[in-house]
Structure 1
Amino acid sequence: MRIQKKCLYCNKQLEGRTDKKYCNLHCKSAYQYKKQKEEPERFYNKVDNQLKLNRKLLKEYNKAGKSVIRAKILLDFDSNFFTHYWKNQKGEVYLFVYEYGFLKKIEGGKEKFILVTWQDYMAKNLKNTKLS
């Protein structure tokens, strides 16, 4: 006896192959999208999405290669997410999101970011850089 199966997305009666799960490609795609949205976001995706957002913001506010902005301008920016760091000769540690870097500073009682773009000379010091 053959059991009549229904589409996993729209519940329409399926015809054809016995292992068929969807009535068409639209239902298959919609079902997969719905299923993915119901699952909790994976840690990797959270980190990757925040890195992309951080890079976008740094790029947007640093068109000249070096600039200083108030920290409250970068509302969605999360400084805990970065790809690497570089320490200058003064001992200041710039955190980078790919090719865009930032240094948090407090000047005049206000938190600011110094934004920079990665330069070739920074790579020479990268291997010997330590946070301590």
Structure 2
Amino acid sequence: MKPYQFCLSCNKELEGRSDKKFCDAYCKSAFHYNKSRDDTGSFYLKVDRQLKLNRKILKKFNKAGKATVISQVLLSQGFNPNFFSHYWKNSSGDVYLFVYEYGFLSRLENGKEKYILVTWQPYMEKSLLL
């Protein structure tokens, strides 16, 4: 009796060896990719995935080095302001949160929550050392 009668990925009937689990290399790869993607056990992977998504979104909306965007626009695309890599405090006391080289500052302007987006500048590093 065969332990696996159908492909674990596409459910196609298997032919050949009795211990075969997948019909081809594509199905084997797709099965393991989906399994690892659905694995919710790794906190590191969740954080890394969110940081990458945040960076991608900030980069998309900050083409010129500085921009202002309504917060809901970023949030609707999956941006999560609780995930950032470091911060920088300017001379006015405003704290910009950064996702690698792209930073954001939350502001309330005219009753609407907005994010001021900036790009990391060399002068910012000097203030980190103080």
Q: Which TM class, normalised by the smaller chain length?
A: 0.7 to 0.9
Relative distance call for 1:60 and 1:4 in structure 2 (3 A) is closer
CA contact (8 A) 2:14 2:20 kept: no
The residue aligned with 2:111 is: 109
Identity %: 54
Name the CA distance, whole Å, in 1 between partners of 2:61 and 2:38.
35
Task: Report whether the alignment pairs 1:89 with 2:105.
Answer: no
Equivalences for 1:18-97 in 2 at 5 Å? Answer: 24-37=24-37, 39-40=39-40, 42-74=42-74, 75=76, 76-97=78-99
Does the C-alpha gap of structure 1 residues 30 and 106 become closer, same or farther in structure 2, counting only changes over 3 Å? closer
Structure 1: 5+ residue stretches without partners: none
CA displacement at 1:24 relative to structure 2: 4.7
Relative distance call for 1:25 and 1:65 in structure 2 (3 A) is same
CA deviations on 1:42-89 (whole Å, 9 max, x unpaired) are 211211111111111111111111111111111221100000100000
Q: TM-score, normalised by structure 1?
A: 0.76
Q: Which runs of 4+ in 1 moved over 6 A?
A: none
CA deviations 1:11-55 (Å, max 9, x no partner) are: 73654xxx9766653453244235335532521121111111111
